[in-house]
């Protein structure tokens, strides 16, 4: 998925994803805010926005 792999589950509804470049991102998979989702997408350097 856009060069990221699921590394592990984290506390609560979070997951740790890492890219092939070594960048890791913490993602709340129960995110209901488009602003939070856009922030995660920006941190992951993905151009899509909600």
pLDDT single digits (tens) 23-46: 899 999 898 999 999 999 999 988
Is 23 within a domain? yes
Opening angle at CA 40, ends 9 and 12, nearest 5: 30
Is 30 within a domain? yes
- Which one has a higher pLDDT value, 2 or 13? 13
Closest CA to 26 of 35, 40, 13, 16: 16
Torsion of CA 21, 46, 12, 24, to 10 degrees: 10
Is 49 within a domain? no
pTM score above 0.75: yes
Distance, in Å, from the CA atom of 42 to the CA atom of 5, rounded to the nearest integer, reads: 17
Number of domain units in the chain:
1
Domain that holds residue 10: 4-43
Model pLDDT, residue 2: 83
Opening angle at CA 50, ends 1 and 21, nearest 5: 30
Q: Is the pLDDT of residue 1 over 90?
A: no
Is 11 within a domain? yes
Model pLDDT, residue 50: 87
């Amino acid at each position: 998925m856009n060069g990221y792999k699921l590394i592990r589950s984290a506390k609560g509804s979070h997951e740790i994803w890492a890219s092939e470049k070594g960048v890791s991102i913490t993602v709340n998979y129960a995110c209901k805010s488009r602003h939070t989702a856009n922030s995660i997408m920006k941190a992951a350097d993905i151009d899509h926005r909600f």
